[in-house]
């Protein structure tokens, strides 16, 4: 668990949740520089961005009293997408959160009306649960994905 703390601390420095290099840690370069990740973005980071866009669209749609805009199959890659080096120590531990998230997504897709709204909020909590273990940088962003005035 000591490692989890260590990588979480790095996450706090690099807001986009790209692990900083050692020199970045000692120099404490601005977060903006870490975000523009010169080493390229991992498959998992790109998937996370797609998931974030999906949540933003679902939130807007639910706030307008409409259903969610479909259920992308691509998110099933969550259990195998390659992460930024050093981000995931134990893939089985990570995948327990990933499977829970995918099952919560299924619930959103299968429910309707008020039930879908509640399922959406459970899905969002599922994002938070994993991020509390893996990468705390995006947590404020995930908190803002809550549906307003349902
Ligand atoms: C199973 C664990 C897990 C779940 C569930 C999860 N995340 Fe992530 N997220 C991560 C990890 C690990 C990273 C770092 C990925 C990397 O750098 O390779 C990340 C990265 C991110 C990033 C930063 C991407 C970037 O630009 O570098 C955002 C934003 C994000 N997640 C939002 C979300 C949202 C929104 C949800 C729910 C829809 C979510 N995450 C669900 C583990 C998770």
Mean pLDDT by 10 residues, the chain (150 residues): 47 51 43 53 96 97 93 96 94 98 97 95 98 95 89
34 CB near ligand 1 (under 6 Å): no
Q: Is 148 left (phi over 0), alpha (psi -120 to 50) or beta?
A: beta
Residue 69 is classified by DSSP as S
DSSP 12-44: HHSTT-PPPPHHHHHHT--HHHHHT-TT---HH
Using CA of residue 59, residue 71, residue 139, residue 31, what is the dihedral sign?
Answer: negative
What pLDDT was estimated at residue 31? 47
Quote the CA–CA distance of 53 and 96 in Å, as a whole number.
Answer: 23
Per-residue pLDDT, 37: 57
What are 53's two structure tokens?
Answer: 């866009």
Asked if residue 17 has its Cβ within 6 Å of ligand 1, the reply is yes
How far is the C-alpha of 92 from the C-alpha of 95, rounded, in Å? 5
**Closest Cα to atom 30, ligand 1: which residue?**
48
pLDDT value, residue 29: 42
Q: What pLDDT score was predicted for residue 38?
A: 54
At 40 the pLDDT is: 75
* CA 45 to centroid of ligand 1, rounded, Å: 6
The whole-number pLDDT of residue 39 equals: 59
């Amino acid at each position: 668990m000591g490692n989890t703390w260590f990588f979480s601390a790095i996450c706090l420095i690099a807001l986009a949740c790209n692990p900083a290099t050692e020199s970045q840690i000692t120099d404490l370069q601005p977060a903006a520089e870490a975000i523009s990740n010169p080493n390229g973005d991992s498959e998992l980071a790109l998937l996370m961005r797609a998931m974030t866009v999906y949540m933003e669209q679902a939130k807007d749609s639910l706030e307008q009293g409409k259903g969610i805009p479909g259920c992308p199959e691509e998110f099933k890659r969550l259990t195998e997408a390659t992460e930024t080096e050093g981000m995931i120590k134990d893939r089985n531990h990570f995948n327990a959160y990933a499977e829970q998230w995918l099952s919560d997504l299924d619930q959103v897709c299968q429910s309707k009306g008020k039930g879908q709204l509640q399922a959406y909020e459970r899905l969002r909590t599922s994002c938070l649960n994993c991020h509390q273990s893996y990468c705390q940088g995006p947590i404020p962003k995930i908190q803002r994905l809550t549906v307003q005035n349902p």
